[in-house]
């Protein structure tokens, strides 16, 4: 079992920055053997992929809508995943979820074994 707890969300003006964190813990499971990702869901919309990072080699993959503005990273020593979000836009407003995947190759449709509860990001215009 893996537990994921997100933090760092909040209200920010357009053009601003936020850094989300996801603390991972696992009983009898090494969270460092999971690829990790961020997804988001805006009101009235389906959950969508944002970014992911593989547990082997640290390769990353981003949605086109955030490429060049968001950076995903992980600190395996701290079992923590990050999402640095710069140049935020009102359309980035959503609940952001951390997720853990057993797959090595990260992509938007990768299988997800565990989800966090989410952290709200609101970008005002």
Describe the chain by its helix, strand, coil percentages, rounded to 5: 5, 50, 45
Q: Tell me how far apart the alpha carbons of residues 75 and 19 are, in angstroms, rounded to a whole number.
A: 14
Contacts of 84 (CB under 8 A, 6+ apart): 17, 19, 70, 71, 72, 73
pLDDT the model gives residue 30? 77
pLDDT the model gives residue 120? 98
| pLDDT digits 0-9 by tens, 26-84 | 876 777 889 999 999 999 999 999 999 998 888 999 999 999 999 999 998 999 999 99
């Amino acid at each position: 079992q893996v537990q994921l707890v997100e933090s760092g969300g909040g209200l920010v003006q357009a053009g601003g920055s936020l850094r989300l964190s996801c603390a991972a813990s696992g009983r009898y499971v090494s969270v460092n053997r999971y690829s990790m990702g961020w997804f988001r869901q805006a009101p009235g919309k389906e959950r969508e992929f944002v970014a992911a990072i593989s547990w082997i080699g640290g390769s990353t993959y981003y949605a086109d809508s955030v490429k060049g503005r968001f950076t995903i990273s992980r600190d395996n020593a701290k079992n923590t995943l990050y999402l640095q979000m710069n140049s935020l836009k009102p359309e980035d407003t959503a609940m952001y979820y951390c997720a853990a995947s057993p797959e090595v190759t990260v992509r938007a449709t990768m299988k997800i074994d565990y989800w966090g509860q989410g952290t709200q990001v609101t970008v005002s215009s």
